[in-house]
Chains A and B, each alone.
Chain A
């Protein structure tokens, strides 16, 4: 496993890479992507997603249920060599394999997502399959806090708990913003932790931008032998003062030269 300092540098690098790419394609969801960068860096580079270099694939699964942010995985796939460098370079051109929303035709992307509220159920199906076939694989499902509004999220959690799916971890990216504003103002979701605990499911809280804490919590979740929900407190648009905690940066927005330079400097 890499040192925490190295992981922090990787997180910065991925934010920079993605910012430059979004700047070119002028679309995408920077706020949601930047809020989950440390989570995926901890998973992929912190030793939780086993990489089989001979087969050039990951043995464990990561399902990005908040499909508008799947693009966060593209530079990771590129760096592992799963996604050809030329595909990354090509992103933004008409014939590119990469999309704003991920799908299973993209190397390293395990699910086609975009419509919210699907992936806990999909992950639960995979988890059942692994358990019944004796495969020692894990599934990490990253959902947005906004997906807690979807009934299918809770249906799937009930199923996962009942079936004791200890090979499934649900990571809730809680950046407290949805498209129209703060969740507590639009339709209050709090207290999220109590609602998860009410289902009898472990609820582990963590600073979603602290790599050391994220790695500790993933280790803890792996050891406790239960289904876990990890409540990661994050900042939408993390890393750019132009974007941070601003609802409009759910989507890409035109930027002035000054804003671009400021963001580049902050992400540096």
Chain B
């Protein structure tokens, strides 16, 4: 099941009891959104292909006390309307939830206009925002419910593709903490930190050699989980894997969090290169070609060893 259908499906359930919700779309769809539009037409606003106005409209709705969800394709929701997001949800501290679909190279082979490889860096610079990147549907569902119960200025980064479910299933304690650990931590192991689609690559590596690796799923990257550095303060090294451009990606959060707490393990960042990707071949092909294959990640780990 697609993450977007799960998230909007939870909104549909919530709308049965709470009509104080507005769902805004910049002409971006989902099966679950068809259901929302059919069952709750008064709670849906089509804003046209106008992300900037959509964020301003969301601001007005939120100023009047409504729960507001805005929804669009990731590259446009993240970057086209970022100043509106700053001036509305940011400056006025409004509980607007932005649901962004197709992060990373999700829209392969559409090309770089449709890739979203800088949204993480951009969004984490907006004061007051929270950022979530679910790696499966169970996580998506939990995040949706948390934001429906306690709305806040948040940016939700959903994958375009259906991602496999992760076992064991996420718990509310994990989400509150902001991360979950796969494997037992000890000083000899290398820690793979990631989120979203790339977490699955890290999990594959971990599952093959669980005696060498620990894997960490960053559920909420902003505010960055404050307990995480302490958990891995004496690990052998860390490889952070993110389907983003090199500057300001998840590895920056990890570097900052560890150094702020005076922990200095060896940290290697594995991201996309500092270039726009025009090649065809599909997402996996592009990830493999541009340094984010399982082998590339393992090679980065070997540098630590």
| A residues lining the B interface (CB < 8 Å) | 103-104, 110-115, 117-130, 132-133, 151-152, 155-156, 158-159, 163
Contacts and interface: CB of A to CB of B under 8 A. Distances in A.
Given A118-B88, A129-B66, A159-B53, 9 more contacts: A118-B59, A122-B56, A122-B60, A122-B63, A125-B60, A128-B22, A129-B61, A152-B52, A156-B53
A106 B260 CA distance: 36
B61 A152 contact: no
Interface of B: 22, 42, 45, 47-48, 50, 52-66, 83-84, 87-88, 91-92
A123 B63 CA distance: 10
- List the 8 closest A-B pairs by CB distance, nearest first: A125-B60, A121-B56, A155-B53, A155-B50, A129-B64, A122-B60, A125-B57, A125-B61
B184 to A, nearest CB: 49
Nearest to B83: A115
Contact of B56 (A120, A132, A158): A120
B57 A122 contact: yes
Given A118-B56, A118-B59, A158 B64 contact: no
B84 A118 contact: yes
Residue of A113, A120, A124 with most partner-chain B CB within 10 A: A124
A132 to B, nearest CB: 6
Nearest to A104: B92
Chain A contact residues: helix, strand, loop or mixed: helix
Contacts of B58: 125
Contacts, number: 92
Contacts of B53: 121, 124, 152, 155-156, 158-159
B131 to A, nearest CB: 23
A128 B92 contact: no
Contact of A112 (B57, B66, B91): B91
B87 A115 contact: yes
Nearest to B52: A152
B50 A125 contact: no
B48 A158 contact: yes
B158 to A, nearest CB: 24
Contacts of A133: 64
B84 A152 contact: yes
A94 B45 CA distance: 43
Nearest to A121: B56
B42 A125 contact: no
A113 B88 CA distance: 9
A159 B47 contact: yes
Contacts of B56: 118-122, 124-125, 152, 156
